[in-house]
Amino acid sequence: MNELRAAAEDWLTQDPDPATRAELRALLDADDEPALADRFATRLEFGTAGLRGELGAGPNRMNRVTVLRAAAGLTTRLLTETPTFDSPAPGANGSGAIDSGTSGAGSSGGAGRPLGVVIGFDARHGSERFALDTAAVVTGAGLRAWVMPRPLPTPVLAFAVRHLGAAAGVMVTASHNPPRDNGYKVYWGDGAQILAPLDAEISAAIDAVGRVDALPLGGPGDWTVLDDGIVDAYLEALDALAGLPVDGPGDLSVVYTPMHGVGLDVFLRAFERAGFPAPAVVAEQAEPDPDFPTVAFPNPEEPGAMDLALALAARRDADLVIANDPDADRCAVAVPTSEGWRTLTGDEVGGLLGEHVLRHTHGDDRLAVTTIVSSSLLGRVAEAYGVRFAESLTGFKWIMKARTSPGDRQVFGYEEALGYSVGGDDGVPVRDKDGIGAALAVAALAAEAKRDGRTLLDLLDDQARRFGLHATGALSVRVEDRALITDAMARLRRSPPTALGGRTVTHVDDLALGSDTLPPTDGLRLHLSGADGRARVVIRPSGTEPKLKCYLEVVLPANDDLAAVRSRATASLDAIRTDLAKALRLS
């Protein structure tokens, strides 16, 4: 307890936030050892996803001290960097256009220009303050900083990194996490999320930071606050997406929810530019609210999260429902059926958007990418269109690094967790998942279908007949002790199941060994065969939660009786899931 108290007292003396100082003083006065241990016995780990955690005092929480230290570690690493980007040298006026101005000292990218960091933030508790603290550290270290004009979607920040020629970007967001959380997402100068070894290098630099009250800090006059020109530039880039301008009816009826996040204004402007009618917006979820009062979790994948949008769509007899998560990097889609509204899976939307992009783009150098846990359908679609295809590890940080050759031009990437990066003939404008761009592409595809008297469900049927029915599902097991997951993975490697759901396991890939196309990762991929088609299971520990996650796919040949084929696929997935749960021995 003495060590915990000493660490907490030291924290108090350098914490600039009166709210977290009061929280910590109350815990010290109460001698609350469990609460102090929870905050000071460990710390938030900086990794490829940056930082994410609960708000509060101490190194195991998101707070101003944690953010100041993270910003200082990032700038330390940046000061060793020599820019090699194709974009113009850093420097921007308030509109987001490149200029030739310079400021500060520090490491420079040629012609005396300092390295720059562009900083964005969402509407969560503390986000703007964390962004301004980051700008203060960056400019205090002699680097240039641009700060977004207001809370904006994550894809706008990711776009801005390359647009401004920045050396790095920071987005303060916890995406679709619960209200009590916030996070710190780092991009490098290529506009993509960081990968190893950068994460370890930044983490080591953070560890070496001393007291934050001794850091040199810039003031508001030392950084550039961008104006809406940066949003205009992002929207102009979306104008070039595949399938735009819209070739279809102008009466497409869309219901939209930003889910209490920051997507509404940018979404509406994007839709207007593309020629779509203004969508009906879920009023209860239209404005940013960091408490997310109408949903248990602000994640469109969660049961009930889209209920208000679906109810509004039913009242309006809409053609389509689109939902973004709070930072608008994910996109969920729902469509009407004869039995009510159905939310499409991420893999269904990925297959539809993949073909949409490939149908509207040109060139032998095009590349489509998805992850090892997503459906294999995109590979079949790419083959049919003569387009290069690659699989990556899970997450957009990997999707954006995937290549089959140096000349690849990525036009599409997606992951099953509702993340899509949609491009055009110039490639993808955002090198991360982009819920606004994906929404435009979905609406364009739906408008084309409506023009032809068809729906997205009809297009899914078309794909099933041409490529086989690719049905996907999942199994997730949460544990209290992460060691149980380690033991389960070791047991499966020693003795993998020989059959699942009545299908024979024909081959097992140990993903920890890596391959010519994939770096090593802790996971197993099981290939299964049966009399009526093939199947696949990917098993991996979650990188953020104490969960073992399993991704299932069954591929069946399709005929005119698609309802019967889908019923068989559902039964097959259920049988595999039941046997797999027994094989994991975690419940």
Run of H or E including 320: strand 320-324
| Edge-first strand listing for the sheet containing 366-371 | 388-392, 366-371, 409-415, 419-422
Angle at 376 between CA 383 and CA 572, to 5 degrees: 135
Q: Catalogue the long-range contacts made by 58-63 (C-beta closer than 8 Å, 24 or more residues apart).
A: 58/8, 58/11, 58/24, 59/11, 61/20, 62/126, 62/130, 62/174, 62/181, 62/182, 62/183, 62/184, 63/15, 63/17, 63/20, 63/126
Other beta carbons within 10 Å of 75? 27
- Say how far apart CA 306 and CA 300 lie, in whole Å: 6
DSSP letter assigned to residue 493: H
Q: Indicate the helix (H) or strand (E) that contains 369.
A: strand 366-371
Judge whether 127 counts as a catalytic residue.
Answer: no
| 23's tokens | 């929280």
Count CB neighbours of 162 within 10 A.
Answer: 22
CA-to-CA distance for 14 and 12, rounded, in angstroms? 6
Catalytic-role residue among 175, 374, 392, 421: 175
CA torsion sign, 58 to 195 to 106 to 163?
Answer: negative
Are 109 and 81 in contact by the 8 Å Cβ rule? The answer is no
Residues acting as catalytic residues:
175
